[in-house]
Structure 1
Amino acid sequence: MSATSMAAVAAAAAAVIGLFSHMPSRWFFGLLTLASLLVGLDAALRGLGDNWVLLSLVTAAGLAGAALHDVCTAGRRRRTP
């Protein structure tokens, strides 16, 4: 198991542990984004094929969008009286 694979597993495990300890969802999605990017990096370094890299980048983009959405809605909730 390469170092990038271990880092991806650690980031995903931290996200799951944080989910059960009531971590804000923007952090949860951020950690899953990091894990997905690390999986894509590992796939590119190992030469597993363009499909794995593309799939992990698309997944990371979706998770980053979810994190950004949560950041924006949290900001709106704080401004609303």
Structure 2
Amino acid sequence: MSLLSWAAIAVGVIAVIAMGFGLPDSWFCALLALTCMLGGADAAYRELKVWAVAFLTGGLVFTAAAVWSALRSGRAGRGGT
């Protein structure tokens, strides 16, 4: 197993554990996005094209979710909807 795989697993485990301790949604999604990006980089390095595209697409989705969550929490703090 490569170092990128170990890093992706470590970040994913940290995200899940931190979620149990009240990690905000935006941080959780950002950590999962990082996990997907690391997994995608590892898959691309190993030339597993389908897995690389799947991981990178998942990373894009989690990045969008993190931005959406951060924007929603920022609006809620200012009294917006």
Q: Shorter-normalised TM-score: what interval?
A: over 0.9
Identity over aligned pairs, percent: 36
How many Å separate the matches in 1 of 2:79 and 2:47? 49
- Displacement, 1:54? 0.8
* Aligned partner of residue 57 in structure 2, secondary structure: helix
2:77 matched residue in structure 1: 78
Structural mapping, 1:1-81, within 5 Å: 1-48=1-48, 50-80=49-79
TM-score by length of 2: 0.94
Measure, in 2, the Cα distance between the counterparts of 1:45 and 1:57.
Answer: 13
Shift of 1:60: 0.5
The runs of at least 4 consecutive aligned structure 1 residues that moved more than 3 Å come to none
How many aligned positions are there? Answer: 80
Measured on the aligned residues, the alpha-carbon RMSD in Å equals 1.0
Specify every segment of 5 or more residues in structure 2 that has no aligned partner in the other structure, as ranges. none
Q: Runs of 5+ in structure 1 lacking a partner?
A: none
User: Under a length normalisation based on structure 1, what TM-score does the superposition of the two structures give?
Assistant: 0.94
